Chains A and B, each alone.
Chain A
């Protein structure tokens, strides 16, 4: 399977990844190769086989009671923020 430059630009836009001009042909080539490779799966007969939902048979996602279990550590967490002020994360203006 072969992808085009437009495919790569679309995927990158969906993934919110800005690519440089030099990167685009590299990903056209390598993703085309990857999808040709995973195309091998088409040959596997999977009729009537259910998709695997959990790596451990019979186990499903555990649920917990809807209770507060964490304390407020906002100031500590915001020390890693690229831009924060007065307890708020700063981003470019969203509404003009």
Chain B
């Protein structure tokens, strides 16, 4: 791998500058990415589909636009999409056998927005099946491996997005986050991840898992790159009934603002006995960086936060069981051979098409929504969710942003947590709260423990993406953790 030339710059910002100055064309840059993707695939398995031909023709179109004086800031920048986003004319699998042959007839709004901004799609990234997993081991297309150590998981569910950016196969990737699926893999792979406010980016064409929690976002090398890409993928979309109709600010305009007068709340509940000592030390060092930058740091408490994982494992499976009812073997997706009758067609198509974890969640959700259990589980969980949201709202009365670890540990071995779902679910103990409350959150690389990357989490009030990106960017100007790449892929 080290024989492969690196990309001419590690970041979207750097590549956009190179394209603008004519140091290389988009076709040349796209070829360089495609070479790295091909070299990375046998070891990392980060991609489900590589769209080389489409990428090269989009790159040529970007070069032509530039020659004609019609280039925007992102024209010709290659990126890849998580395979949960529908892409017109391109296979969209969601990591499942159920959709292994599905060719989307339309683009997701997020994909269309980034295409309109001139980005070039390199392909579709591997993920946990239907985004249900925290290790990228549930994909029908096989596990993704962590570029820092191929014996380890990259995290999930956006494991392909995180591994591809960490190995510098692509400069940036889209991702989605229902309970931590952007931030946890970003942390485990040493890259930057942002989950915007619920409703900020459209869910149209993003295959639904849990509709009150799902949100599209990005995995990038830097916060600046996230600021560049977030605008074009955000904004009101009449095709998503929960899309929020409020203007998208210019995230680049506030990126360099001073942190003087900023108050950061350190969430006490995040520093529990489950947090690895090495990870905690890196987080404490990051807090010291913020103090040097002029921020005031105070401890805050969100007492109901420890209930976020059990709350999530009622709400998310309930919504999953409803959303995945559409896979019936009739209109699209896997269909069993020679069905005896309609019920057999449904049951066998679904039994064969879904993997073990997806079936587990559909059954959990079916049970909590079934007659006699709805109040005890679903309504109870939605009440606790209200308490968790209220904890955050109280904390934001005194703080601009909250801070803590993204994940309790660094990356773990492939297979290590497959036997016990609860152990796997607890990976998301620090990330789920933001989804339950609809809050924007980020993960930033903040150093290493035992040679593996550690992620720092920021959580902000609703629609505070601009401030959060600014706070992340200022940290990345003081540190270079985000620029560290695994030596095999540097």
Contact = CB atoms under 8 A, between A and B. Distances in A.
Interface residues of A, number: 54
Contact of B198 (A7, A23, A55): A55
A89 B363 contact: no
Given A15-B362, A61-B242, A92-B345, A38 B310 contact: yes
B351 A19 contact: yes
B383 A49 contact: yes
B370 A55 contact: no
B299 to A, nearest CB: 23
Contacts of B328: 16
B360 A30 contact: yes
Interface stretch (B24-32, B165-173, B330-338, B403-411): B330-338
Main secondary structure of the interface of B (DSSP, over half): helix
Contacts of A82: 329-330, 332-335
A41 B421 contact: no
Interface in B303-359: 304, 307, 309-311, 313-314, 321, 325, 328-335, 339-348, 350-352, 354, 356, 359
A80 B103 contact: yes
Contacts of B348: 18
A80 to B, nearest CB: 4
A39 to B, nearest CB: 8
A2 to B, nearest CB: 13
A35 B314 CA distance: 9
Given A33-B421, A55-B212, A92-B342, A50 B332 contact: no
B53 interface: no
A80 B384 contact: no
Contacts of B436: 55
Contacts of B344: 18, 92
Contact of B105 (A20, A53, A79): A79
Interface in A59-92: 59, 61-62, 64, 73, 76-77, 79-83, 89, 91-92
Contacts, number: 173
Given A15-B321, A17-B362, A81 B331 contact: yes
* Shortest 10 CB-CB contacts between residues of A and residues of B: A55-B438, A51-B382, A18-B351, A82-B335, A46-B383, A80-B332, A18-B347, A15-B366, A16-B346, A52-B386
Interface of A: 7-8, 11-20, 23, 26-27, 30-31, 33-35, 37-42, 44, 46, 49-57, 59, 61-62, 64, 73, 76-77, 79-83, 89, 91-94
27 contacts: A11-B366, A15-B350, A15-B366, A16-B346, A16-B347, A17-B354, A17-B362, A30-B421, A34-B360, A34-B422, A38-B310, A38-B313, A38-B377, A41-B380, A41-B384, A44-B383, A46-B380, A52-B385, A55-B436, A55-B437, A56-B438, A57-B393, A77-B105, A79-B105, A80-B101, A80-B102, A89-B331
Given A46-B383, A51-B383, A91-B330, 20 more contacts: A13-B347, A16-B347, A17-B354, A18-B351, A20-B351, A33-B421, A33-B422, A37-B313, A38-B381, A41-B311, A41-B384, A44-B304, A49-B383, A55-B213, A56-B197, A61-B242, A73-B105, A77-B332, A82-B334, A92-B341
